[in-house]
Amino acid sequence: MSGGAEEVGLEQTRALEERYLMRTYKRAPVDFVRGEGPLLWDADDKRYLDFLTGISVCSVGHCHPDVVKAVREQSHRLMHVSNLFYTEPMAQLAERLSESSLGGRVFFSNSGTEANECAIKIARKHAHGRGVAEPEIVSFENDFHGRTYGALAATPGLAANEALGPMLAGFRAVPRNDADALGEAVGERTAAVLIEPIQGESGVFPISDEALLAARQACDEVGALLIFDEIQTGVGRTGSLWAYEQTPVRPDVLTTAKALGGGVPIGACVTAPVAADVLEVGDHGSTFAGGPVATAAALAVLAIVDDPVLLRHVRELGAYMRERLEALDGVRGTRGRGLMVGVGLEEGIDAAAVGADLLERGLVVNVPRPDTLRLLPPLVIDSDHVDIAVGLIGESLLGLSAR
Ligand code: PLP
């Protein structure tokens, strides 16, 4: 039976997936059909509090009315014409992104990994401009930059998968937060240091100010670019519009995606003036990128998030949430900034079991490592939502340790 859009329930959806989808994902046993603000409902109408937001995508909550309105209005007016022509929302969004950050030019993409591909191209071409024949990009071990081949090569954990080889040459990694190793790895060949200011996928590990300063200094010494992958940390997640604002350094390029479209796929590579004119006609392109619907959605998102009151709320609520989490039995400590929080669990507690138990209890979180829960709630929640989530996590930890 060809399903159409009717809701068919978890078992039927699972059967379709088994037959027709590639086996690239390990999914939790839930079939979400509806979302509103911080809440999700499954096909059985069970309600969940979402402290993951599609991995920091629905940061303004699910189906935010302003984003829905922007998408609806734009999709009635014009959905696509290609990058052969000018379109207003794209130009307006580029202005907004540039003026709110590094002040150079913007290239739009459809995803995070593609935003990083653009940054990698910029880094390599910029290095060739310095006379570097074989440019190299330096990252930290445990960084995650995406799954297309360039970004993959800068993601050491995944690039080790030889079955997908050969990998793109010209990438190396040094241990996370090792300022000395980073300083030594950067040399005349270095095109860029490409890092996440807070490693997200590997478990929420902030990069130390010392390591960031070392990266900035090393890049400045050889003329390399400092690139921050803010795909997870950007768009308000850490309590400033961009995570770099709370560090002592300013990158030359930043990449963003995830929360930028409020649920609509869009990414961007944003430059400082030093890297703004590196790519020229013919160097890069994408059919869908920067299309009117996605850029209209992103403008609506930034109108909500780029607000000092909301950003202060994110910092304060994040601090409150961490304090409450750290008081729970079974929690070893927390890591992160703003509402990007990793919860380290005490030895012997299986985070995957806690995550599965929380899902049953109606709280959506994620488990990036066997000892860590990751919380990425909507930025627009209040302390009542935090109290409910922390209460559920506490009950789950108690229940599992009593077994
Ligand atoms: N960079 C970071 C820091 C990410 O967290 C992710 C996704 O999790 C990516 C890049 C890749 O983004 P996408 O999945 O949109 O390609």
Positive or negative CA dihedral for 102, 241, 247, 202?
negative
| Closest by CA position to 186, among listed 222, 232, 161, 160 | 222
Amino acid at 210: E
Mutate to test the pocket of ligand 1, among 116, 230, 258 (most ligand atoms within 8 A of CB): 258
Tell which atom from ligand 1 comes closest to the C-alpha of 233. Answer: 3
Tell which atom from ligand 1 comes closest to the C-alpha of 258. Answer: 15
Tell which atom from ligand 1 comes closest to the C-alpha of 199. Answer: 3
Alpha-carbon distance of 169 to 251, in angstroms, equals 24
User: pTM to 2 decimals?
Assistant: 0.97
Coil/strand/helix, residue 360? helix
Nearest CA to ligand 1 atom 15: 112
Coil/strand/helix, residue 195? strand
Contact call for residues 18 and 10 (beta carbons, < 8 A): no
Residue 8 pLDDT = 75
Q: Write out residues in the chain with pLDDT < 70, as ranges.
A: 1-7, 402-403
| Closest by CA position to 135, among listed 151, 116, 122 | 122
Alpha-carbon distance of 70 to 143, in angstroms, equals 34
Cα 99 to ligand 1 centre (Å): 23
Residue 3 pLDDT = 43
Cα 232 to ligand 1 centre (Å): 7
Residue 4 pLDDT = 47
Cα 196 to ligand 1 centre (Å): 10
Contact call for residues 120 and 279 (beta carbons, < 8 A): no
Alpha-carbon distance of 355 to 363, in angstroms, equals 9
Task: Please report, to the nearest 10 degrees, the dihedral formed by the alpha carbons of residues 45, 48, 52, 56 taken in order.
Answer: 60
Task: Please report, to the nearest 10 degrees, the dihedral formed by the alpha carbons of residues 320, 326, 329, 332 taken in order.
Answer: 160
Cα 197 to ligand 1 centre (Å): 13
Tell which atom from ligand 1 comes closest to the C-alpha of 257. Answer: 15
Q: What's the Cα-to-Cα distance from 328 to each of 48, 164, 331, 345, rounded to whole Å?
A: 22, 42, 6, 10
Nearest CA to ligand 1 atom 1: 145
Cα 324 to ligand 1 centre (Å): 29
Positive or negative CA dihedral for 215, 217, 222, 227?
positive
Residue written as tokens 């995570």? 243
Residue 233 pLDDT = 98
Cα 201 to ligand 1 centre (Å): 8
Cα 77 to ligand 1 centre (Å): 30
Pocket of ligand 1 (CB under 6 A): 55, 111-113, 116, 144-146, 196, 200-201, 229, 231-232, 257
Cα 120 to ligand 1 centre (Å): 14
Alpha helices for 198-242 (secondary structure H)? 209-222
Token code pair at residue 70: 């922007």
Q: How far is CA 102 from the centre of its chain?
A: 19
Tell which atom from ligand 1 comes closest to the C-alpha of 143. Answer: 3
What phi-psi label fits residue 210: left (phi over 0), alpha (psi between -120 and 50 degrees) or beta?
Answer: alpha
Alpha-carbon distance of 151 to 108, in angstroms, equals 16
Contact call for residues 250 and 270 (beta carbons, < 8 A): no
Cα 203 to ligand 1 centre (Å): 14
Nearest CA to ligand 1 atom 10: 145
Nearest CA to ligand 1 atom 12: 112
User: Helix crossing, 308-326 with 292-305: angle to 10°?
Assistant: 70
Q: Mention every residue, 6+ apart, whose C-beta is less than 8 A from residue 137.
A: 120, 123, 124, 153, 154, 170, 171, 172, 190, 191, 192, 193, 194
Tell which atom from ligand 1 comes closest to the C-alpha of 201. Answer: 5
